[in-house]
Amino acid sequence: MNETQTRVLTEELSPGLWRGTLNSVQDRNALSGEMREAIRQALRDAKAAGGKVMIFRGSPEVFSSGYRLDPGALRTPTTTKDRDRLIETTKFWREYREQPVVTIAEVRGHCIAGGTDMMLASDISLAATDASISVPNVRDLGITMLLPMWSTLVGPHRAKLLAMSGDAVTGEEAAKWGLIAAALPEQILAERVAALAQRIALVPEELLEITKQALNAAWDAAGFGAAIVRAAELDALAHTTSPVNAFWQQVEADQGSLRNVLSARADRFGQDRVLDLLKDATIA
């Protein structure tokens, strides 16, 4: 096993198959600029070593907490500079999708906000049945770059139902609704994901790359690139709104304690979720 900038630990599981473990405990595997560069490098290293498939996972408790909530970095002086910062993130996701190594997200624990972007940008995503997947940032911070693609995956009405409240869904629910490929019990998730990845790695490299490009073409035709750029622009706009400013003012008033403000937000929404309210509904 070798360490890529301390943030992604990589290992070759078998010929053609690699695994990268997000390794940034201090910010719960946040997708900071350093983490994104570590992901890039992990993929380059795997490709150079003959890798065809790469599994990305986090810790047992958290796949990724999303984009780092750093007030100094997020509260940019102008909307245009904020837009430029967010557009740079969309470039990373386009590059991540288009690079030739097949990516598989192995999601367990919490997958939050920008973490869902990595989940959706991966070629295949599988989760533990009890994983918690959510975009709570829509409540008072903005949106995520790949949020427009939820409609492509689950349909526009279901996407709005799942995303607009910021409620969490389990891995099992996400699989049922088509947000991810499948969900498995946590105790067998790593074993089954590795077996699936090994099977994919049996396909010759050139044909695997061509197949990936052919399947990506559907999202490209549906306007993937334009949609995530638009999301970046809307997120920059969201950052100028009074609710977002009020959030950061509360953080400052609480002496910079994000944890306390986020906890208060969760308390405000309570324990009931949209899907709990629909538990007696007929949902195919």
Cα three-residue angle 111-74-229, rounded to 5 degrees: 70
Instruction: Report the alpha-carbon distance of residue 98 to residue 225 in Å, rounded.
Output: 11
Residue 105's pLDDT is what? 98
3-class DSSP state for residue 143?
A: coil
Residue 23's pLDDT is what? 96
Average pLDDT of the residues in 58-63? 97
- On whether the pTM is more than 0.85, the answer is yes
- 204-228 pLDDT, tens digit each: 999 999 999 999 999 899 899 999 9
Instruction: Report the alpha-carbon distance of residue 237 to residue 255 in Å, rounded.
Output: 26
Residue 202 burial by CB count (10 A; 0-12/13-18/19+): exposed, middle or buried?
exposed
Band of the pLDDT at 69, cuts 50, 70, 90? Answer: confident
What does the domain layout of the chain look like in residue ranges?
2-277
Length of the chain (residues): 284
Is pLDDT of 66 > 90?
Answer: yes
Q: What number of CA atoms fall less than 13 Å from residue 52's CA on the CB side?
A: 20
**CATH no., domain 2-277:** 3.90.226.10
Residue 196's pLDDT is what? 98
- 228-241 pLDDT, tens digit each: 999 999 999 999 99
Higher model confidence: residue 258 or residue 119? 119
Residue 259 burial by CB count (10 A; 0-12/13-18/19+): exposed, middle or buried?
exposed
Band of the pLDDT at 73, cuts 50, 70, 90? Answer: low
Band of the pLDDT at 259, cuts 50, 70, 90? Answer: confident
Average pLDDT of the residues in 153-172? 94
Instruction: Report the alpha-carbon distance of residue 5 to residue 22 in Å, rounded.
Output: 11
State phi, psi for 184 to the nearest 5 degrees. Answer: -135, 155
